[in-house]
Structure 1
Amino acid sequence: MGLFLLWFIFGVGILIQVVYLLLIFGRTSFSKPTKAHSDPQKEEGVTVLIAAHNEFQNLKTLIPKLFEQDYPKYDVMIVNDRSTDRTKRLLEEMMAIYPRLRSVTIKYTPNHVTAKKFAMTLGIKVCKNDVVLLTDADCIPNSDQWIRKMTAPVRQNDKTFSLGYSGYEKSSGFLNSWIQFETLLTALYYISFSLWKAPFMGIGRNLCYRKSFFMEVKAFKGLWHIEGGDDDLFVNQYATGKNTAVVLDPDANTTSKPKTTFKEYLVQKKRHLHAGKYYRGEDKQKIGFFSLSHALFWLGGLGLLIYFGIDQSWEQFLIVFGIILLRSVIVVSVFASASKKIQGTKAAKNVWMLDFLYLGYFWVLGTISHQAKDIQWK
């Protein structure tokens, strides 16, 4: 009975993993992306929106980069959210240099709302243009075509949401390798399901939508009490297969600065994962089925290896080991192809090992994040 249960667990894990890795993630990894073509007749105005709290150093680098964009009609709105550093002085100096830079300052946040959502709402209300392109203060566009390509689905194809990718700077060390792996896996989730016409999230570091739609639906209605989720929960509520497009182009990406300590990283991820518990039920299942099958595969596989090893049934041992090895090859292939297509770079090293470690990461940190009550933006 014990052996049958192990085979059953292992088998179910294999079947679901094959569906995800080859059919769902494969939509991103192995299909040819359709790159946006610019239409000069639809180059309407765009506002780049950034909410910043004590981001003096990052803004000092970012602002000049934003005004290198090759797009004729855009401005930049920075919401200075209760900053106590030199952000206000910097913005005043930069606005004298860049006429299309604008800012609004928030001195306090009302008690009934969360800081980031209040800052984003105020910023969107004062945006000059209807097309709004969001990013963060610590992000840098990958090319001078970022605005043009990220906003194209909204401007040219009448989409409500345009979902982009934002990676992290690469450096040495295990933490950075893990960040690269986990970020790419997250992208495989939301990009692949969007390509299957079933979008469920986006990321605020690279996201575009219309101000008029945001105001019409009162975007954060019912979400004010949730710290975080100003990006993925908004998309989760209103994105559909018809109104959402993915921009799969390295030139349309942004790159962020990664956390350099495990403590900082865990605080960040706890906030990100916490918002996930407010997703719609069917969208929780999109992540849940992969994570559950991932656990079933490894627990069943390792259980069988131990069983056959003790029993010295080496033929069965090699069969199970071969299946595990084959899946690892598929995982490495999927991630390598996805990284090349999404980022234009190689995937993180030791993907097979990082994939195994994900077994503990998702279930431990996910449980902690789901129950957390001390989530904060900044």
Structure 2
Amino acid sequence: MEQFLSYFTLDVIGIALLSTLLIMLFIQIYFYLAYYKKPLSYLKQIADTHEEITPLPSVSVIIVAKDESENLAKCLPSILNQDYPDYEVIVVNDGSTDESEFLLKNLKREYPFLYSTFSPYSDANETIQNKVLPLTIGIKAARKDILLFTEADSLPMTNQWVKSMVNSLANKDIVVGYSRFTESEDFSNKTALFDNLIFTLQYMSMAIKDKPFAGLYKNLAYRKHLFFDNKGFSATLNYDNAEEVFVNYIMTDNNTAIALSQDSYVSTELDNFSHWRKIKTAYSRAKFNFKGFTGGVFSLETLSRYLFYSLAIASIVYSIISQLWVYLGAAILLFIIRYIIQIIVLNKASDHFLTNRFHLSLPFLDLIQPYYNSYFSRISKSKKRRKK
């Protein structure tokens, strides 16, 4: 009996470690159930009430491409063969020197609703960051009421993409869609897939909670009047990646919808680590200028995540050294509880968003993902400049 009771020795350090670990676990469970599980829960809520819009409004699909003839050759056939009654496709050739113009000229013979315009390169355009000028040209050329944006490296996964995005828009002004990354055996690809899933769950859950903060031009739509009502990109023109900041600025607590149907997805071929870094640093530069602190709530999730792992390791090591086996069992149990909740929530989301499931690699990806985001943020800060 004495030996049995000895297992339950009160140890101040052990209790302090386990108590703090338990608090971090509660914070983590809160984020997983209140945020990361939210998009799929919301999908079930609207399943019986979602109706198709009739009549379907006219749509302008806008693509900005610079020296991307190979990507255009892959994505345009899918975009040009959408099952939608009234839409046009506008490709803004952003000073390309490759075969883009020749490709577009040939496709226009077959598809009369394909239009192209040209954004010539000049030194003067260096003051207009990234895609602002070509996007403005494309938007002003658009003749339809709804502007649907994608990029040359992103391929609609079905011929229902336009219809699905429009139906998701419903009576809102903005709809943010999902872009999945293609899979490869490269380790950085697995990290990118995990990061993309987490980021998707973050911006979609916040939009559901009427606190939208981000939408990417890989899969995004908004009503044309929003652009002109806000005088185009003029309010964000002084920022790097002004087009992304513009989306953040025009989002309100009641004008943004999300597209959760798999028909609304686009797929982006992730070539290598450099490609992922380019995508992430571009977003990071824009994020520095977002209004409010909406997306910053997930900084608490990241902090509690690292504290949870640190405290779990500390509790396990201390329990082994002190031969406190009940404390050791409690620490391992708390770790397993979080892992089970995490793997259930994320793998259900992975299935719906058509990306890899996560198993034994999950704890490692969980730890390294914030490191990569910090790395990309540091790169962005070093390149960030605000024009005077």
* Aligned mate of 1:71, from 73, 76, 84: 84
CA 295–221 in structure 1, closer or farther in 2 if over 3 Å, else same: farther
Unaligned runs of 5+ in 1: none
Q: C-alpha displacement at 1:284, in angstroms?
A: 3.7
Shift of 1:374: 6.2
Residue matched to 2:39: 28
Partner of 2:338: 327
Change (3 A) 1:348 1:227: farther
2:127 is paired with a residue whose SS is coil
Whether contact under 8 Å (2:36, 2:202) holds in the other structure is: yes
Residue pairs, 1:286-297, within 5 angstroms = 286-297=297-308
The equivalent residue for 2:269 is 257
* Other-structure match for 1:131: 146
- Residue 2 of structure 1 deviates from its aligned partner by 6.8
Work out which of the two has the higher radius of gyration on C-alpha atoms and give 1 or 2: 2
**Letter in structure 2 aligned against 1:243:** N
Q: What displacement does 1:206 show?
A: 0.7
Whether 2:205 is the aligned partner of 1:195: answer: no
- The 3 A distance-change label for structure 1 pair 39 and 271 is closer
Render the CA deviation track for 1:144-180: whole Å, top value 9, x for unaligned.
11101101244xx321101111101123332222221
Q: Would you say 1:244 and 2:256 are equivalent positions?
A: yes
| Distance in 2 between residues matched to 1:111 and 1:2, nearest whole Å | 59
- Percent identity, please: 27
Structure 2 unaligned blocks of 5 or more = 1-11
Aligned counterpart for 2:357 among listed residues 347, 350, 354: 347
Match of 1:120 in 2: 135
Of the three residues 184, 191, 194, the one matched with 1:181 is 194
Letter aligned with residue 331 of structure 1: Q
Q: 1:82 to 1:33 in 2, by over 3 A?
A: farther
Q: How does 1:94-105 map to 2 (within 5 A)?
A: 94-105=107-118
Q: Equivalent residue of 1:167, what SS?
A: strand
Over the aligned positions, Cα root-mean-square deviation in angstroms equals: 2.3
Q: Distance in 1 between matches of 2:381 and 2:17?
A: 31
Change (3 A) 1:219 1:310: farther
Alignment match of 1:50 (pick from 46, 63, 68): 63
Equivalent in the alignment of 1:315: 326
TM-score, normalised relative to structure 1:
0.90
The 8 Å contact of residues 68 and 100 in structure 2, kept in 1 or not, is answered as yes
**In 1, Cα distance between equivalents of 2:269 and 2:105:** 25
Mapping of residues 184-223 of structure 1, within 5 Å: 184-223=197-236
The aligned amino acid for 2:127 is H
The CA distance in 2 between the partners of 1:153 and 1:371, in whole Å, is: 35
Deviation at 1:14, TM superposition (A): 2.0
1:158 aligned onto 2:171? yes
How far does residue 211 in structure 1 lie from its aligned partner after superposition? 1.3
Structure 2 contact 306–367 (Cα < 8 Å) conserved: no
Q: Determine the C-alpha separation between the residues in 1 that align with 2:279 and 2:217.
A: 14
Once the two structures are overlaid, the 10-residue window that deviates more, 4-13 or 99-108, is: 4-13
Secondary structure in structure 1 of the residue aligned to 2:63: strand
SS in 2 for 1:151: helix
Aligned AA (2:183)? K
How many residue pairs are counted as aligned between the two chains? 368
Q: CA deviation at 1:314?
A: 2.4
3-state DSSP of counterpart to 1:281? coil
Report the CA distance shift for 1:67/1:370 in structure 2 as closer, same or farther (over 3 A).
closer
User: 1:357, CA displacement in angstroms?
Assistant: 2.2
Aligned to 1:372: 382
* 1:83 corresponds to which of 93, 96, 104: 96
Aligned to 1:18: 29
Q: CA deviation at 1:295?
A: 1.8
Alignment-mate amino acid for residue 360 of structure 1: Y
Q: Deviations for 1:177-225, whole angstroms, at most 9, x for unmatched residues?
A: 2221111111000111112222111121110101111111124233223
Matched position secondary structure for 1:149: helix
Q: After TM superposition, give the deviation of residue 12 of structure 1 in Å.
A: 4.0
Do the aligned partners of 2:94 and 2:134 also contact (CA within 8 Å) in 1? yes
Question: Whole-Å Cα distance in 1 between the matches of residues 19 and 287 of structure 2?
Answer: 29
Q: Post-superposition shift, 1:139?
A: 0.9
Q: State the alpha-carbon separation in 1 of the partners of residues 53 and 295 from structure 2.
A: 37
Contact 1:149 1:252 in 2 (8 A): yes
3-state DSSP of counterpart to 1:198: coil
Contact 2:59 2:86 (8 Å CA) reproduced: yes
Looking at structure 2, the residues matched to 3 and 276 of structure 1 have their Cα atoms a distance apart, in angstroms, of 40
Distance 1:153 1:268, change over 3 A: closer
Tell me the equivalent position of 2:290: 279
Question: What does residue 9 of structure 2 align with?
Answer: none
CA distance in 2, matches of 1:5, 1:364: 33
Q: Name the counterpart of 2:368.
A: 357
**Which residue matches 2:6?**
none
TM-score (norm 2): 0.88
